[in-house]
Amino acid sequence: MKLKGMPKIRIKFQDENIIKKRISTLRVYNMSAVKDFYFKELEPKKIENDLYKLELRTNEIFKLVYGQIYILCEIKDGICKVLDIEPKRFLEKGFASLLEIYKGIPIAEKSDLAKIKILEKMGRI
């Protein structure tokens, strides 16, 4: 992971096991986000004080159903501490078991299927 404008920053993880699990889930359901995580120079967007988010590539359909995929991190004193990867709910369900797929879209919960069908009727998918 590289950050724009910060070439000599050290990367640390708050809980490396959780981050590895979430990256593993992304590898199955959204490989382009994983490629961004490892190879793209990400631009930090400030949320508050030392808290930043780094957006990863997310396709439009996934955004409509689950939201933008991003890394939540804290940057201070030349250290970027990775706190979490969002959307948590989807990534936790996807790691626990293989998700069902409806028209190419992974389904983490039944409510997601309902949301997909509504978006489909609206012509957004």
CATH of the domain at 12: 3.30.2310
Count the domains in the chain.
1
Q: What pLDDT does residue 45 have?
A: 93
- Residue 55 falls inside a structural domain: yes
Q: What pLDDT does residue 103 have?
A: 86
Q: What pLDDT does residue 78 have?
A: 87
Q: What pLDDT does residue 71 have?
A: 95
Lookup: tokens for 11: 């990367």
Sign of CA dihedral 85, 89, 95, 96: positive
Q: What pLDDT does residue 17 have?
A: 93
Q: What pLDDT does residue 2 have?
A: 84
- Residue 48 falls inside a structural domain: yes
- Residue 125 falls inside a structural domain: no
**Domain range spanning residue 27?**
2-98
Lookup: tokens for 93: 């369900």
Which is nearest to 106 in space by CA: 53, 46, 58? Answer: 58
- pLDDT per residue, tens digit, the chain (125 aa), is 888 888 788 999 999 999 999 999 999 999 999 999 999 999 999 999 889 999 999 988 899 999 999 999 999 888 999 999 999 889 988 888 888 988 888 998 888 899 999 998 988 87
- Residue 104 falls inside a structural domain: no
- Residue 94 falls inside a structural domain: yes
